[in-house]
Amino acid sequence: MHVFKPTAVALKEKVELFGGSSVSPKVVKLTFSLPDPTSSLHSLGFDLGLGDFVRFRFPGTRARAYSPTSHPSTIGTFTIIIRVYPKGQVSPKLAALDLGDKADVTGPLPVPWLTRKRNVTKHLALVAFGVGITELVSLLRSELLSDTLESITVLWCLRRREEMTIGSGLDDYSAEKRIKFEYAFSRESDGQRADAGLIQKIFSHLPKAETAVCCVGTKATERECYGWLNKLGYKQRLLKMGIRFGGRTKSPLWASIEK
């Protein structure tokens, strides 16, 4: 696999996690075979603990980025979870693949001259909108290996409760005492939309100087959510993109595999 040169990967498994509804497009889990069956995302240079991702592209479409949810040391395959937007350029084509069909992928990304720098803190405040929760799977896996971590508070914002099947990868953390999950359902009769008041209610107990934040969703929801957190005094980002100088700082997840 290469950052700039597309590599064809074959679909090995397809599972529908959420069948879709009038207000929520369906969600599918796709597992692809790596070109070298003895390789893993880790051996190919992916540091999923820093949010590394892949891009899929089809002829005539723009590239679309996805965060792998499988463990980076998994041999021979990698998995992504996608929401299938009917008018999207890439997601409908990925969802329409049959087993054995191939798609072009590039990675690991971001590009080599950029890197995400990790903020080491005691507490994490994480907010995910919809299928954006998949971007947190590897971050949670990595941060739980940190020696300094004391707590993680996750707010997952969904339309309806039935969409929680999207987060099947979160089951691994159900017994982890340092993680607390909160939920907001915007289309339920007893639900609540994510807003400044909810953010304050969920996160205001965390010490501002010792808390890093991360929001995942669309660009618009991320921008709005970071604005709410900033007004509360939470201004430290868990991951910050910057120019890479020299060697790349590795995540706890990467370090654990290298041991």
Domain-embedded: residue 256:
no
Structure tokens at 24: 């929520």
Quick one: which of 172, 167, 169 has its CA closest to 183? 167
Q: Do 80 and 125 fall into the same domain?
A: no
Total domains, the chain: 2
The residue out of 44, 76, 109 marking a domain boundary is 109
Among residues 41, 76, 109, the one where a domain terminates is 109
What percentage of the chain carries pLDDT values higher than 70?
A: 98
Are 102 and 142 found together in one domain?
Answer: no
User: Do the domain assignments include residue 124?
Assistant: yes
What's the token pair of residue 121?
């803190």
Q: Is residue 250 part of a domain?
A: no
HSE-up of residue 72 (Cα within 13 Å, Cβ side): 29
184, 127 Cβ separation under 8 angstroms: no
d(CA 204, CA 28): 35
CA distance 230 to 56: 33
Q: Which residues contact 217 (CB under 8 A, 6 or more apart)?
A: 127, 128, 129, 130, 132, 157, 225
Structure tokens at 182: 């909160």
**200: domain range?**
120-237
176-192: pLDDT as tens digits: 899 999 999 998 888 88
Assign residue 134 the CATH number of its domain. 3.40.50.80
181 and 80 co-located in one domain? no
Residue 104 and residue 130 in one domain: no
Q: Do 102 and 134 have their domain in common?
A: no
* Sheet strands (E) in 119-255: 123-129, 151-158, 179-185, 211-216, 239-243
How many angstroms separate the CA atoms of 167 and 62, rounded? 27
Is residue 3 classed as helix, strand or coil in its secondary structure? coil
Residue type, 234: Y
The pLDDT value given to residue 171? 75
Count, residues in the chain: 259
Q: Does a structural domain hold residue 175?
A: yes
Residue with tokens 């999950």: 181
Instruction: Looking at the structure, tell me whether residues 125 and 64 fall in a common domain.
Output: no
- What integer pLDDT is reported at residue 129 of this predicted model? 96
**Which residues make up each annotated binding site for FAD?**
64, 66, 81, 90-91, 134
| Same domain, yes or no: 65 and 134 | no
pLDDT at residue 54, rounded to an integer: 96
- How, if at all, do strands 123-129 and 53-57 pair? unpaired
Query: Which of these three, 84, 109, 134, is where a domain ends?
Result: 109
pLDDT of residue 12: 98
95, 139: one domain: no
Identity of residue 31: T
Q: Do 90 and 27 share a structural domain?
A: yes
Both 153 and 205 in a single domain? yes
Phi-psi region of 80 (alpha: psi -120 to 50; beta: other; left: phi over 0): beta
Least Cα distance to 20 among 191, 210, 180, 163 occurs for 163
Q: Specify the pLDDT at position 22.
A: 61
Per residue in 219-228, pLDDT tens? 999 999 999 9
Which residues fall in the annotated binding site?
64, 66, 81, 90-91, 134
CATH number at residue 60: 2.40.30.10
Residues 23 and 97 both lie in one domain: yes
Amino acid at 67: S
Per-residue pLDDT of the chain (259 residues; tens, 9 = 90+): 888 789 999 999 999 998 876 667 899 999 999 999 999 999 999 999 999 999 999 999 999 999 999 999 999 999 999 999 989 999 999 999 999 999 999 999 888 877 788 999 999 999 999 999 999 999 999 999 999 999 999 999 999 888 888 886 787 787 889 999 999 999 888 888 899 999 999 999 999 999 999 999 999 999 999 999 999 999 999 998 888 777 788 999 999 999 7
Of 243, 207, 236, 216, residue with least CA distance to 138: 216
Tell whether 189 is covered by a domain: yes
Q: How far apart are the first and last CA of the chain?
A: 24
Q: Are residues 130 and 81 in the same domain?
A: no
pTM over 0.75: yes
